[in-house]
Amino acid sequence: MKYPLIVILGPTASGKTHLATHLAHKIQGEIISADSRQVYRKMNIGTGKDLDEYIVDNQDIPYHLIDILDAGEQYNIHQFQQDFHQAFDDISSRNKPAILCGGSGMYLEAILKGYEFTSIPIDEKLREKLIEKTYEELLFNWNSLSQIKGFNPDLTTKKRLIRAIEIGQFLSQNPDYIISKPIIPKSIIFGLNPETQIRRMSTTNRLHQRLQNGLIEEVKTLIDSGISPDKLIYYGLEYKFITQYLSGELNYELMVERLNVAIHQFAKRQMTYFRKMERDGLKINWLDNKLPLNKLIETMYFKTFGNS
C-alpha cells in the first residue's frame, strides 16, 4: 500500500468536511465518510452532508459511504466496517490516497482499532428486557458474565452496556463462534477542535441556517414518504426534535431551544470520545483551527508524506 489512510475527525461544526475536500483536491484523494447518518438518502440537511463542499475549483471530489441506503433501513458498525474496507481497497487499487472523515467516534475506532465483535447479531428480545433495567442493574448483569478475552467494551452509556451484555451472552451460548480480526490499515489521524466558544457559536449559527434552508420540510417529507416517527426519533438530534415539533409535542421555540442544547451536548460527547481514543493509544495530531486553510493542508501534507 503506497499511501496511509488519512483520518480527519472532530466534533460537529468543526470544519472537517471543508478541510477534507480541500486536502483531497490537493492530493487527488477520495473521501470515505465516517458518519452513521450520512449513509441515508434524502437525509441531507439534518445530517450535514454539505455536498456542495465536494466541489473544489470546479472539480468533483469523489466520496464514498454517503447516500448508500434508503432512510428507514438499519445500519450498524459491522456493515460500516465491511463497506469501509470495500471502498478503501477500491481506492487503494487505483493508487489514490483515501481520507476517512467524520465525527462518529465508534465508527472511526472500529476501523482504527479493528473491532472484532461487531458481527455478533442483535437480540431484540434481550434488548427489550434490558432496556427496562437501570444502569446499575445492567452493570451488575455484565459483571456476572464470564469475561471474554480481548473484549473490553466501552460501558459509559446504557446503550453500550446493553450491547456488551448482548455480545457476552451470545458468545457464552455459542463458544465455537469464529471471530474474524479485521485488517487495520496504516493510518495518520488529524483532529480539529475549535475553542469551545467558537464551536458553540458555529453550531448554533449552523442550526439556524439549516432551519431556514428547509430542515423542517426535509423531516416532513420523510414522514410523508412513510417513514415512521419512531424511526426518525431513533436517528436523534434534528430528526428527533423536529419530529416531536411536527407531531405537536413541542412548539417551535421550545424545539429549537432543546435541539440547540442537544447538539452542544453531542459535540461535547464527541470530544470526550476522541480523548478516550487517545487514552486507549491512538495518536491524534490536533490541528490549530486558527491557521488558514492552506497552512492546515501544508501541515497535514508534510506529516503524511514528508518531503515527497
Q: What whole-number distance in Å separates Cα of residue 308 and Cα of residue 303? A: 11
119 falls within a domain: no
pLDDT tens for residues 224-261? Answer: 999 999 999 989 999 999 999 999 999 999 999 999 99
Q: What is the pLDDT of residue 149?
A: 79
* Mean pLDDT, residues 88-107: 96
Q: Which of 34-43, 148-157, 212-221, 235-244 has the lowest mean pLDDT?
A: 148-157
Same domain, 250 and 149: no
For residue 197, what are the contacts with CB-CB under 8 A and spacing of at least 6? Answer: none
Same domain, 202 and 282: yes
**Domain identity same for 256 and 298:** yes
Contact 8, 34 (CB under 8 A): no
Which residue range(s) make up the domain with 136?
124-173
| 271 domain-assigned | yes
| pLDDT tens digits, one per residue of 44-84 | 999 999 999 999 999 999 999 999 999 999 899 999 999 99
Task: Write down the pLDDT at residue 1.
Answer: 54
pLDDT recorded at residue 201 = 95
CATH number at residue 92: 3.40.50.300
Say how many domains are in the chain.
2
Indicate whether 164 and 209 sit together in one domain.
Answer: no
Question: Could you report the per-residue pLDDT of 1-17, keeping only the tens digit for each?
Answer: 579 999 999 999 999 99
Co-location of 37 and 147 in the same domain: no
Grid coordinates belonging to 55: 466541489
Q: Are residues 272 and 158 in the same domain?
A: no
Of residues 177 and 219, more confidently modeled: 219
Same domain, 80 and 128: no
Nearest to 61 by CA among 85, 35, 96: 96
267, 285: one domain: yes
Check whether residue 73 and residue 212 sit in a common domain. Answer: yes
Q: How far apart are the first and last CA of the chain?
A: 16
Residues 110 and 216 in one domain: yes
Rounded Cα–Cα distance for residues 23 and 30 (Å)? 9
Average pLDDT over residues 152-172: 90
